[in-house]
Amino acid sequence: MPLKTPHARFSSFVTETRSGLLRYVRRLTRSNDSAEDIVQEAYARTLEQGDEVRTPKAFLFVTARNLVWNARRHQRVAETDSVADVDDLGALHSDGASTEDRLVADEAAALLKAAIEHLPPQCRAAFALKVFNACSYKEIADQLGISTKTVEKHISRGLRDTHAFLRRRYEMSGRQEMDRHE
């Protein structure tokens, strides 16, 4: 009996494992489309490794699981990527607030939004969850799929960079105001 070619071996591997892998990934993603994409990518990565993989089936399933986790992490970051809801900075929009107070609150919200949008995506996501949703570091870590130590670093960087952005903006507007009065 002749030896199988690498292509034939991989084809028979796909035939043997595809339905089980697809069921597994569907359970994790709860989406047929996502499952199909992830299964395809898992096979591509397994094929790339070639003969380097000692247990291809285990490698395939672990790769698929990791791809699902990465997709979830990217989805969570994307969901918190926009900070468009910043304009409710408190009760200043209530009926008793003066027009001037509302304008100042609107300007502060716009500046804060601009400052946060300058943060890197994962830092922005962690910072927004902390500031706007009052999530704990553990909750943020679980939601973004990162360690609490990484969350601490993101929150610290978010505070530092946001303060620096606001400081620069206020310094610039202060200089412009002084220039107008001279």
What are the distances in angstroms from CA 135 to CA 28, 90, 141?
Answer: 25, 18, 10
What are the distances in angstroms from CA 136 to CA 63, 66, 132, 139?
Answer: 30, 25, 11, 5
Indicate if 118 and 140 belong to the same structural domain: yes
Query: Looking at per-residue confidence, does 82 or 129 come out higher?
Result: 129
Q: What is the pLDDT of residues 114-165, one digit of tens each?
A: 888 888 888 888 888 888 778 889 888 888 888 989 999 999 999 999 888 8
Domain boundary at 35, 53, 79, which?
79
Residue 104 has pLDDT above 90, yes or no: no
Question: Would you state the pLDDT for residue 16?
Answer: 92
Question: Would you state the pLDDT for residue 78?
Answer: 62
Cβ neighbourhood burial of 39 (10 Å; 0-12, 13-18, 19+): buried
Domain boundary at 53, 79, 105, which?
79
Query: Which token pair is 115?
Result: 């400052």
Indicate if 92 and 176 belong to the same structural domain: yes
Counted domains in the chain:
2
Indicate if 69 and 128 belong to the same structural domain: no
Question: Would you state the pLDDT for residue 22?
Answer: 92
Q: What is the pLDDT of residues 38-67, one digit of tens each?
A: 999 998 888 888 778 788 888 889 889 888
- pTM for the full predicted model: 0.45
